[in-house]
Amino acid sequence: MITGKFPNLRLRRSRKNDWSRRLIEENNLTSSDFILPIFLIEGKNKKQKISSMPGVYRYTLDKLSPFIEKAIRNKIPMIALFPYTNSRKKNELGTESLNEDNLVCKAIRLIKKKYKDQIGIMCDVALDPYTSHGHDGLLKSGYVLNDETIQMLINQSLVQAQMGCDVIAPSDMMDGRIGEIRKALDKNGLKMTQILSYAVKYASSYYGPFRDAVGSKRLLRGDKKNYQMDFRNSDEALREVALDIKEGADMVMVKPGLPYLDIIKSVKEKFKIPVMAYQVSGEYSLLENSVNKNLVHKDIILENLISFKRAGANAIISYYADRLNDIIK
Catalytic status, residue 255: yes
φ/ψ region of 240 (left if φ > 0, alpha if ψ in -120 to 50, else beta) reads alpha
Catalytic residue among 63, 89, 224, 255: 255
Catalytic residue among 63, 89, 90, 201: 201
Report CA-CA distances (Å) from 157 to 113, 285, 313.
20, 30, 25
Residues in the chain: 329
Nearest to residue 104, comparing CAs of 126, 74, 132, 137? 126
Residues annotated catalytic, as ranges = 201, 255
